[in-house]
Structure 1
């Protein structure tokens, strides 16, 4: 599992957020740089000089992304559509996950040097501001969850999965919904672990930035986190298990989809393929 940064987040938004129709996707992409700038400002309160740097670098990154990456996204979806039309195998699912990872790694490799340059330009007050935005105070943590709270959380997770599926496949039959809901409970509950891990990394980053590291030192840290990530022992097995369980869940759900529902998803993939091709030529 990887933490997802701004442009990587864009991939996820475009592929899985539930944007409907070609025009919506294209509008979202065309305004993504503006949204990212405002999001970065929300966390850091950027200066005019920093804002200029961010705009300049995002302009170049989006030009590269349009020309080089969007055609690859379209090609990936064409291949995914061909493989998924008759149901996914374990090998095909592994290929899909590996393909997405490859694109994210390419994205991180392009972004990290500029992310490091930006972070090295932060003033102490901006680091404090970032800390206020992302670090929870001890009194905000509620400790161990009760069995009832965990059950409720799993039910809410199941509902979100159902909603996302209906976004792609249309309305599910009651029997399908019941089966899928039951299957989702096999997924590990790592919400608290993931939140704790993210909190730990944020604190590490803040402490590191307060030492006034160079841009190259920050770049090395970011590469260790995003390009060759490793997790503390208390998280490693849990995160790996979640990845395996997610794939297993997809393979269990896939045969439950009717031909009509699958065709609806294929049509939607065709829309994204068209969007990526149109955007790549602008």
Structure 2
């Protein structure tokens, strides 16, 4: 489940040894075609940690063990940087990755254990609100660690790179814009498939009634891709405008960054905020309806999957 849209936007879509890449200093950064995902490079680590349910334990752990390298690549392709800024960013990514892996993942494991017990008892709406609160807490805690580095990067931004940054932003938005432009029926089928696979992962085989409930949820919930793209472009336009002002805008950059990292919903346009909140409520309703319809074997399957995820977190943190 993932990022800025919140817990109910089901696209909400968080090494055995540390993998360190040795990269040459690059006086001129080549332009690459790899585009970062929906959450943006800074919060990718949260998304991965909290949305790993679609991969096997081995695949997830392998992915996470290489996550610092992946984030470095994505940052290179989204941000216009001088060579010294690249070195600074790479070092800070490694620092935050180690903290997240060895200090924060055990907390995620505790939350998984708690959630598994709640599934065994039978879920209530308060349980879902509790878990959502935990996810927000983890996101804000990570943001608190990243904030000083993000502030330094933006206030030290080289104004000669603004045109390149605008070009990179346009390239970054292209993939989502293409998705938004696809036929509604195609996007619906993709969302339905994703939702069915999500619940199948936790419950195992679904009966026909459960599949119909998931289809109803997919029909009722809103595809927020277009709203999210507009929101993203709004923030990008605002940030570029501030960067163009140089030193005189440092206080405004700090204010914007704090809003974006710690109080992101306050930046949402009304239509996007309403859609996110409604989707979250519909997601809760669907989870509770499916919980009420679960067989004993499905309930055991679900709690075991969550416990397995917790064990994966502990293994990555070197606690197992």
Aligned to 2:4: 2
Deviation, 1:220, is 2.5
Establish whether residue 184 from structure 1 lines up as the match of residue 221 from structure 2: no
- How much does 1:152 deviate? 4.2
**Number of matched residues?**
277
1:87 paired to 2:122: yes
Q: Is structure 2 residue 297 aligned with structure 1 residue 250?
A: no
The equivalent residue for 2:198 is 164
**Aligned-CA RMSD value:** 2.9
Q: In the superposition, relative to structure 1, how do residues 263 and 57 fare at CA in structure 2: closer, same or farther (>3 Å)?
A: same
- 8 A Cα contact 1:7 1:107, kept in partner: no
CA distance in 1, matches of 2:70, 2:177: 30
Are 2:21 and 1:19 equivalent residues in the alignment?
no
In 1, distance between residues paired with 2:198 and 2:277? 23
Deviation at 1:96, TM superposition (A): 0.6
| Unaligned 5+ runs, structure 1 | none
Q: Residues 246, 125 of structure 1: CA spacing in aligned structure 2 closer, same or farther, 3 A cutoff?
A: farther
Query: Is 2:84 aligned against 1:49?
Result: yes
Q: Please state which structure has a larger fraction of its residues in helix.
A: 1
Scaled by the length of structure 2, the TM-score of the pair is 0.76
C-alpha displacement at 1:188, in angstroms?
2.8
Give the stretch that moved more between structures: 27-36 or 72-81: 27-36
Q: Is 1:199 paired with 2:236? A: no
Distance of aligned partners of 1:91 and 1:55 in 2 relative to their CA distance in 1, 3 Å threshold: same
Quote the residue 2:26 is aligned against.
none
Deviation of the 1:81 alpha carbon:
0.6
Q: How many Å apart are 1:101 and its aligned residue?
A: 0.6
Work out the CA distance in 1 between the residues paired with 2:41 and 2:294: 33
Give the Cα–Cα distance (whole angstroms) in 2 for the partners of residues 107 and 83 of structure 1: 26
1:80-159 matched pairs, under 5 angstroms:
80-135=115-170, 149-159=183-193
Q: Deviations over 1:36-63 (max 9, x none)?
A: 0110001125333122111221222123
Query: Which one of the candidate residues 244, 251, 256 is aligned to 1:210?
Result: 244
Q: Which deviates the most, 83-92 or 94-103?
A: 83-92
| Higher mean C-alpha deviation, range 91-100 or range 256-265 | 256-265
TM-score scaled by length of structure 1 = 0.85
**Distance in structure 1 (CA, Å) of the matches to 2:95 and 2:251:** 21
Residues 184/233 of structure 1: CA separation in 2 closer, same or farther (3 Å cut): closer
Structure 1 stretch displaced more, 126-135 or 55-64 = 126-135
Structure 1 moving runs of 4+ over 6 Å: none
Q: Partner of 1:135: helix, strand, or coil?
A: helix
1:30 aligns with 2:65: yes
Contact kept? 1:83, 1:92, Cα under 8 Å = yes
Residue 207 (structure 2) pairs with residue 173 (structure 1): yes
Which structure has more RCO (C-alpha within 8 Å, separation ≥ 6)? 1
CA distance in 1 between counterparts of 2:190 and 2:229 reads: 17
